[in-house]
A and B are shown apart, each in its own frame.
Chain A
Amino acid sequence: MTAPLLSVRDLKTYFVTPAGTARAVDGVSWELRPGETLAVVGESGSGKTVTSLSILRLIPEPPGHVLPGSLIEFEGRNLLTLSPPELRAVRGNGIAMVFQEPTVSLNPVFTVGDQIAEVARVHLGLSRVEARARAVEMLEQVGVPDAARRADEYPHQLSGGTCQRVMIAMALICHPKVLIADEPTTALDVTVQAQILELLERKQAELGMAVLLITHDLGIVAGVADRVAVMYGGQVVETAATRDLFAHPLHPYTAGLLASVPRLDGGRGRLSGIPGGVPPATAWPSGCRFHPRCPHAWDRCRTDEPPLLDGPAPGQSARCWLVTEPGRRKAT
């Protein structure tokens, strides 16, 4: 078993708010191996975005802070203890990130060519001319037609899909080992989404990158991910290989999500949905955080918080007492 490239252990990121302490990420652990695609799935309030921002320490320090005792290890070094210059060397270089809203994440007053070139100059020490050439090359590689001309355009002149390609070019120009993609296609049309996903898959194979994909779309997960970590209430509630997750989800939340998704081949029947709503991060429920919405919950769920328990399939674990007491599962 290869050593993990990026591992997160017991990550806790809390925010101080007027309403109390929001425990947005409350003890999250997972590992990413070279060349693997791990999808972190969750809805709003699950903590998935805060997790990804915490890795590169992009959390605004007041009001947020990562608790000591959290560990984020990349290539053997703890990212949380690096000095600012060391951290800057990692950002964009070893670990790169792509965000959700491409048009907004780019600086509106610089041409896209300049922005991509800047990454190359900072991290690779290329001269202006060399960096510009690299930038145009990257634009071609990410499938932007007429790259040389596009490089001189500004973000507002480009479509959402093209902006996202620009962001990907910026992220990949230094051949990072890990790419964190935070909802990279959510703001895009479905046909453009298909293009971008196909691009990411291609580049991943070419560069041998590991990809951490944050998303809420189970369809994308099914098509792209090797492993999945489902988040709820600031915690990972299930991890599994993709096939296992879809075929036999252990955690009721995962099952609920799968049942809520309308299908292309489904009919017009009622969708199950999950009753209730996500609780605020300032007041997680006692015991298992999902218990108020869970159709199987019993007394133990209200009082004891379950740890991640290993399920029958290898590599699949769920934070649910049903794993140890499968008899309690009600027929739904």
Chain B
Amino acid sequence: MSALVQVEGLVKHFPVRRGLFGLGAREVVRAVDGVSFEIPAGRTLALVGETGSGKTTVGRALLRLVEPTDGRFTFDGIDVFGLGSPELRALRRRMQVIFQDPSGSLNPRMTVGEAIAEPLVIHRLASRAERPARVTELLAEVGLDAGFAPRYPHELSGGQRQRVGIARALALRPQFLICDEPVTALDVSVQAQVLNLLKDLQQAHGLTYLFIAHDLAVVRNVADRVAVMYAGRIVEEAPVDRLYAAPRHPYTRSLLSAVPVPDPDAPRNRIVLSGDVPSPVSPPDGCRFHPRCPHPLKGERCAREAPELRDFGGDQRAACHFGEKPM
């Protein structure tokens, strides 16, 4: 049975003009440079990466909020990138998104009730009379009581706003939800509540999640499978337990070691990477990670030849020439 979400070779380049009046060298920001993955129905794939990894752009491209430069996205057998506007609009009912910034993603001039009802209005799913009931229902699903409907976003806390965003995304009863850093802007205690909510909703509605995040500890808690992105490409992907127990790519290892652990007695063997994330306009030749790579066997091959994702058993793939001998 093929997966609900299948992405192949997704590419997104943003043109950047330099020089006066648009003349001069045309450069390209290679935000996403060939990303492929699959998500079976009802499961959660986490897309992890830091700034400049391209993970947010992947989410936007899948929803066609930015038009992809190349690649294929098959949703339930439908070729999403080939759809025209009306079919795309119809498809939006089945794929939705939750944004990172709970205050920014809600129109400050619309009440909570209006914001949640908006998808119903756009797709004509409920008459004027039916809407308040639907809104109350959705609010209840995210743990907010009906009294929130007439309030404005600025009257709510960050956690509550995020719940409203979730309720709005659920209004269309989608099958696939892209969660773009949904808990990053929230306090730790609220983050826990929202993560629990997302998991409960997944159980209740059989939702499929693409969970975009940079916090590896959060990802551990929610994902079935993890894909690590660096400089526009996936460098490793594996079932969650395997990735954390036995990472194969040096970047994954550095990332894991850099996460501060809330335990004073935990051994501190941080692998501190030097340098910064490469420029997306001119990424390094060969393996994009090689200038910063701390692998002892790093060599001339790494600068020349970009490694492909290779299989290492247990459904784990990594793009490293030395994957058999991880650090």
- Bind each other: yes
- Residues of A in contact with B (beta carbons under 8 Å apart): 43-44, 145, 159-162, 189-195, 197-198, 216-223, 242-243, 246, 256-275, 277-278
Complex: A266 Cα to B217 Cα, angstroms: 8
Partner of A271, one of B195, B240, B268: B195
Complex: A269 Cα to B195 Cα, angstroms: 10
Complex: A154 Cα to B76 Cα, angstroms: 49
**Least distance between A134 CB and chain B CB atoms (Å):** 24
Known: A190-B255, A278-B157. 13 other contacts (CB 8 A): A43-B190, A44-B187, A159-B276, A159-B277, A160-B51, A194-B270, A194-B272, A195-B272, A223-B260, A246-B263, A264-B216, A266-B220, A277-B190
- Please state if B187 and A262 are interface contacts (CB–CB under 8 Å): no
- Please state if A194 and B216 are interface contacts (CB–CB under 8 Å): no
Complex: A273 Cα to B215 Cα, angstroms: 17
- Please state if A263 and B196 are interface contacts (CB–CB under 8 Å): no
- Please state if A223 and B51 are interface contacts (CB–CB under 8 Å): no
Whether, in the assembled complex, B191 has its beta carbon less than 8 Å from a beta carbon of chain A, the answer is: yes
**Which residues from A are CB-within-8-Å of B262?**
218-219, 221-222, 246, 258, 261, 263
Give the interface residue-count category, chain B.
Answer: 35 or more
**Which residues from B are CB-within-8-Å of A264?**
216-217, 220, 244, 256, 259, 261
- Please state if B244 and A257 are interface contacts (CB–CB under 8 Å): no
**Which residues from A are CB-within-8-Å of B105?**
none
Question: Count of A-B contacts with CB under 8 A?
Answer: 139
Partner of B217, one of A263, A270, A274: A263
Complex: A193 Cα to B190 Cα, angstroms: 23
- Please state if B263 and A222 are interface contacts (CB–CB under 8 Å): yes
In the complex, 11 of the A-B residue pairs with CB atoms within 8 angstroms, ordered by the A residue number, are A161-B276, A190-B259, A191-B258, A194-B272, A198-B270, A219-B261, A222-B266, A261-B188, A262-B215, A268-B199, A268-B222
Partner of B221, one of A257, A258, A271: A271
- Please state if B260 and A220 are interface contacts (CB–CB under 8 Å): yes
Known contacts A219-B262, A246-B263; is-contact A162 B276 (Cβ 8 Å):
yes
**B195: nearest chain-A partner, CB-CB:** A271
Whether, in the assembled complex, B189 has its beta carbon less than 8 Å from a beta carbon of chain A, the answer is: yes
Partner of B50, one of A189, A216, A257, A259: A189
**Which residues from A are CB-within-8-Å of B192?**
259-262, 271-274
**Which residues from A are CB-within-8-Å of B273?**
191, 194-195
**Which residues from B are CB-within-8-Å of A243?**
264-265
**Least distance between B246 CB and chain A CB atoms (Å):** 13
Whether, in the assembled complex, B214 has its beta carbon less than 8 Å from a beta carbon of chain A, the answer is: yes
